[in-house]
Amino acid sequence: MKTAEALRREDAAGDDPSHVERGPPRDGAAFGAHAHSLVREIWALVQDHLLLFALEAQRGGRNITRIAFAGVIAAVLAVTAWFAVVSAVMFWLVADNVPWAYAFLAVAVVHVVACIALIRWIQSLAKEAMFSATLRQLRGGGPDSVGGVR
Angle separating helix axes 27-95 and 132-139, nearest 10 degrees: 140
Count, in order, helices (H) and strands (E) of the chain: 4, 0
First-last CA distance in the chain: 53
The pTM of this model reads: 0.38
Cα distances (angstroms) measured from residue 87 to each of 5, 50, 104: 92, 54, 11
- Work out the angle at residue 14's Cα, subtended by the Cα atoms of residues 11 and 17, and round it to the nearest 5 degrees: 140
CB-CB contact of 52 with 133 (8 Å):
yes
**Tens digit of each residue's pLDDT, the chain (150 residues):** 455 555 556 555 555 445 445 545 456 678 888 888 999 999 999 999 999 999 999 998 999 999 999 999 999 998 999 889 888 888 988 999 989 888 889 888 988 998 999 999 988 887 776 777 777 888 876 655 554 444
